[in-house]
Amino acid sequence: MTLARAFWATAPGAGEIRTEILADPAEGEVRVRAIASGVSRGTEALVFAGRVPPSQFAAMRAPLMCGDFPFPVKYGYCAVGRLPEGDRVFVLHPHQDIFNAPASMCIPVPNAVPDRRAVLAAKMETAVNIVWDSAPLVGERIMVIGAGVVGLLTASLLRRIPGTTVTVVDTLPARAALVERFSMPGDAPGDQDLIVHTSASEAGLRLALDRAAFEGRIVEASWYGDRAPAVPLGEAFHARRLRLIASQVGAVANPMRGRRSYAQRLALALDLLADPAYDGLLEGPTPFADLPRAMPGILAPGGLCHTIEYGETACSA
């Protein structure tokens, strides 16, 4: 039999590694040995703190998670592993050293993308979907509010559109250096044609409403969990005919729905990670065995994508 080890969130702010017996792969499944995984800071912080609203229990289930909200739950969706034949794959699987997964969910990692950078695939997939929802135009003035991983990935894609001026700002002053590293200006006046908000803060959304041009589009890509932000929709919101658009990665964005599958969207995200500049969005690594102790610090505000590394920890008996 094969023994596998997985990280479980067991109570608010607490987790442990549990050992489980792994069955042989069923028909249509493959065996994957983890190389690295990434902590999706925003979502996993809410899960780890037990702040997923009951109304969102079904919507928040990750594809291959185990357990039920609020606790105990095995959660995560940023795993890179190796198949028995040696090929590397990205899988939407929780933090676990060895696991079975549907072959259809194992997306090949391009040779140009190293193991640690490949854990960004789920975040890049979110950025791709945000851009599709945003429908940016050549020459637009664009602001991204929130210089976290998703915000910077989104900005890097928007900047590729000819003639655009892309500005990134953040409510955390400490992220100014990170914005400079990606060579994007750190502030801009109003009259922004398109604003993407990823900071999950009331202050960030208020800033978006303030900076949007007449008939400007604000794409809200944040998820607030159990918080209810108060925003001034009664001030200039109507007079400037602003549009507030929700973007969420659980569905392929409308402009590409029916044209790209989930697997194709994820494969595109992996291809887009060939740029070495994206290594600047990674932190860590932390050994998998240390994850229960380290997770509270990893999820502290202000960080980037923290990587988890796996040794030959799975065993057969």
pLDDT at position 303: 85
pLDDT at position 316: 33
Q: 3-state DSSP call for residue 110?
A: coil
Q: Could you tell me which of 50, 308, 303, 7 has the C-alpha nearest to residue 170? A: 303
Beta strand spans in 12-118 (E): 14-22, 29-39, 66-67, 73-74, 79-82, 88-91, 98-102, 107-108
As averages over each run of 10 residues, the pLDDT of the chain (317 residues) reads: 96 98 97 97 93 92 96 98 98 98 98 98 98 98 95 96 94 78 76 96 94 97 87 89 96 96 98 96 97 96 92 44
Other Cβ atoms within 10 Å of 204 Cβ, number? 21
pLDDT at position 67: 97
pLDDT at position 175: 81
- CB–CB of 212/192 below 8 Å? yes
What is the separation of C-alpha 182 from the centre of its chain, rounded to a whole number of angstroms?
A: 18
How far is the CA of 118 from the CAs of 273, 292, 295, in angstroms? Answer: 7, 23, 20
The domains of the chain, with CATH numbers, are 2-120+277-316 (3.90.180.10), 124-256 (3.40.50.720)
Token code pair at residue 231: 């925003």
Report the alpha-carbon distance of residue 87 to residue 101 in Å, rounded.
Answer: 14
pTM summary value: 0.93
Report the alpha-carbon distance of residue 127 to residue 157 in Å, rounded.
Answer: 8
pLDDT at position 313: 43
Q: Could you tell me which of 14, 40, 74, 73 has the C-alpha nearest to residue 303? A: 40
Other Cβ atoms within 10 Å of 233 Cβ, number? 11
Token code pair at residue 263: 């697997």
